[in-house]
């Protein structure tokens, strides 16, 4: 009787222990003698860290809500049918495999408990020894729910494909409608935000109109297609030199884009853009490229900068007040750098450089060596406006035109992840250059607007 009861209790304890174990590690990551390093986000920061840390020092787990890395700088070319989406996205599982016995899990990290060193994800929980938040940023609508509902963002591949569908669907609608006002709204393209994304998208749309739509929609009056670029400040490409900004304005104007500087939009109701000054613009195509907001994982609010959502870190990328927890890239805000009092620019080189340094510092930490503080190396900025039209600021020098365009093409091509993707992009650019027509204009998944 005693033995039967003991056996019963033992079974219960084993079951309870098993349950606790699975709750602690329900993503099926095996136990390891090595400290577990969890990297949340397979963007520029995440994949650089994967490349730089060694599976001999850590058990490395990468978690992302998508199973692919996105090369965001070329999203606008997907949206305008210049590149197929597969060329700018790379499977994360294939990527991490290159660097040894790493683990990838497709999951959305919903919460972090830094006290318990535990992550809560859509697929289960996972304990960690070190965690790196590299979750990037999303579109910032500055709390305006109308803008969020009715405008198009372009932060990821599905959004770029939605925009591609919308552009093509609206032109198809424009060709059949008899209502002239409706047609004009369908053919007015409004881009809000004169940073690199807005400039590059406006230029690409102007080229589509000139080289492609004019021929393919010969029975539609293409002069009626208007591309507006609205910027709240007095300058396009705010982070670039005055010369680059002026040249960009000249290029866009020459291409027929209506650039409106010092102009803010008050609202958009899905049909009409209300400007702070000036006449309203009827439009069924409004793209919001006017700001980003970091996407930190809930649980670290005490270190969060408002309103940007970025996580304050020290110079070694450790999240302020949270041991063993690091933040990199768009989501991080390194404090007390006198050269960048507002934080480093939210661009790919920042994410890459921070990840490279963190890998080195994690190694130093394990070997009890001193840590190195982060120092941003500004490698310059560039933007392309159209074929043979680009601007580049680098090391105090400024270039524009064909040479700048070739530099832009080279830098972007070399930064794409994966040889096959690079080759596919090069091939598409090559054929687009000579044919003036990419033929990637399929409405495979029609986009339904929020109305």
Ligand X SMILES: Cc1cc2nc3c(=O)[nH]c(=O)nc-3n(C[C@H](O)[C@H](O)[C@H](O)COP(=O)(O)OP(=O)(O)OC[C@H]3O[C@@H](n4cnc5c(N)ncnc54)[C@H](O)[C@@H]3O)c2cc1C
Query: Interface with ligand X by CB under 6 A: which residues?
Result: 40-46, 63-66, 72-73, 75, 108-109, 134-136, 154-155, 196-197, 295, 297, 329-331, 346-349, 351
Q: From the CA atom positions of the chain, what is the Rg in Å?
A: 25
Output the DSSP codes for 349-366: HHHHHHHHHHHHHHHHHH
CB closer to ligand X out of 27 and 271: 27
CB closer to ligand X out of 209 and 412: 412
The tokens describing 222, both together, are: 């293409």
Residue given tokens 């661009």 in the structure block: 347
CB of 280 to ligand X, least distance (A): 27
Beta strands at 118-121 and 292-294: parallel, antiparallel or unpaired: unpaired
CB of 314 to ligand X, least distance (A): 18
CB of 160 to ligand X, least distance (A): 8
Q: Specify the length of the chain in residues.
A: 451
CB closer to ligand X out of 63 and 333: 63
CA distance 282 to 268: 9
CA distance 82 to 384: 14
CB of 412 to ligand X, least distance (A): 8
CB closer to ligand X out of 63 and 286: 63
CA distance 175 to 155: 29
CB of 223 to ligand X, least distance (A): 29
CB of 166 to ligand X, least distance (A): 16
CB of 18 to ligand X, least distance (A): 27
CB closer to ligand X out of 72 and 425: 72
Confirm if 213 and 223 have CB atoms less than 8 A apart.
Answer: no
Phi-psi region of 291 (alpha: psi -120 to 50; beta: other; left: phi over 0): left
CB closer to ligand X out of 212 and 331: 331
CB closer to ligand X out of 80 and 438: 80
CB of 297 to ligand X, least distance (A): 6
CA distance 314 to 337: 9
What CA–CA distances, in Å, run from 76 to 206, 287, 381, 384? Answer: 13, 11, 17, 11
Nearest to 248 by CA among 193, 194, 188: 194
CB of 66 to ligand X, least distance (A): 4
Beta strands at 292-294 and 137-139: parallel, antiparallel or unpaired: antiparallel
CB closer to ligand X out of 162 and 184: 162
CB of 122 to ligand X, least distance (A): 8
| 69, β-bridge pairs | 90
CB closer to ligand X out of 186 and 358: 358
Confirm if 139 and 293 have CB atoms less than 8 A apart.
Answer: yes
Nearest to 194 by CA among 139, 128, 124, 264: 264
For residue 388, is the peptide bond before it cis, meaning its omega torsion is within 30 degrees of 0?
no
CB closer to ligand X out of 295 and 426: 295
Residue given tokens 């010369």 in the structure block: 243
Q: What angle do CA 292, 414, 440 make, to 5 degrees?
A: 70
* Position of minimal CB gap to ligand X: 43
Confirm if 287 and 190 have CB atoms less than 8 A apart.
Answer: yes
CB of 129 to ligand X, least distance (A): 19
The tokens describing 413, both together, are: 């091509």
CB closer to ligand X out of 66 and 437: 66
């Amino acid at each position: 009787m005693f033995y039967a009861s003991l056996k019963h209790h033992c079974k219960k304890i084993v079951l309870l222990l098993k349950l606790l174990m699975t709750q602690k590690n329900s993503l099926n990551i095996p136990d390891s003698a090595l400290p577990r390093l969890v990297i949340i986000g397979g963007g520029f920061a995440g994949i650089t860290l994967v490349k730089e840390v060694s599976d001999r020092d850590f058990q490395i787990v990468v978690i992302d809500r998508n199973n692919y890395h996105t090369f965001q700088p070329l999203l606008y070319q997907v949206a305008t049918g210049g590149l197929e989406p597969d060329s700018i996205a790379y499977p994360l599982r294939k990527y991490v495999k290159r660097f040894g016995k790493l683990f990838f899990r497709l999951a959305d990290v919903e919460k972090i408990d830094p006290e318990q060193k535990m992550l809560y994800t859509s697929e289960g929980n996972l304990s960690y020894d070190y965690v790196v938040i590299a979750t990037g940023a999303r579109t910032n609508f500055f709390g305006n729910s109308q803008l969020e509902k009715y405008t198009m963002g372009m932060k990821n591949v599905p959004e770029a494909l939605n925009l591609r569908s919308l552009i093509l669907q609206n032109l198809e609608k424009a060709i059949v409608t008899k209502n002239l006002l409706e047609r004009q709204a369908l053919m007015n393209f409004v881009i809000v935000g004169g940073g690199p994304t807005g400039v590059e998208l406006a230029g690409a749309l102007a080229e589509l109109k000139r080289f492609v739509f004019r021929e393919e929609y010969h029975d539609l009056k293409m002069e009626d297609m208007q591309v507006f670029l609205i910027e709240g400040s007095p300058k396009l490409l705010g982070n670039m030199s005055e010369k680059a900004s002026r040249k960009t304005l000249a290029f866009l104007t020459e291409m027929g884009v209506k650039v409106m500087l010092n102009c803010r939009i008050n609202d958009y109701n899905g049909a009409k853009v209300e400007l702070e000054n000036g006449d309203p613009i009827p439009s069924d195509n409004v793209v919001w490229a006017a700001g980003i907001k970091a996407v930190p994982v809930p649980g670290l609010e005490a270190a969060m900068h408002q309103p940007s959502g970025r996580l304050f870190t020290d110079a070694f990328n450790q999240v302020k007040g949270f041991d063993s927890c690091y933040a990199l890239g768009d989501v991080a805000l390194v404090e007390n750098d006198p050269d960048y009092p507002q934080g480093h620019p939210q661009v790919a080189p920042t994410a890459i450089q921070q990840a490279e340094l963190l890998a080195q510092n994690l190694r130093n930490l394990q070997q009890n060596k001193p840590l190195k503080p982060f120092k941003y190396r500004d490698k310059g900025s560039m933007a392309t406006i159209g074929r043979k039209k680009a601007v580049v600021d680098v090391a105090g020098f400024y270039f524009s035109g064909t040479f700048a365009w070739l530099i832009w093409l080279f830098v972007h091509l070399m930064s794409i992840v994966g040889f096959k993707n690079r080759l596919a992009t090069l091939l598409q650019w090559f054929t687009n250059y000579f044919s003036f027509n990419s033929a990637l204009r399929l409405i495979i998944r029609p986009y339904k607007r929020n109305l």
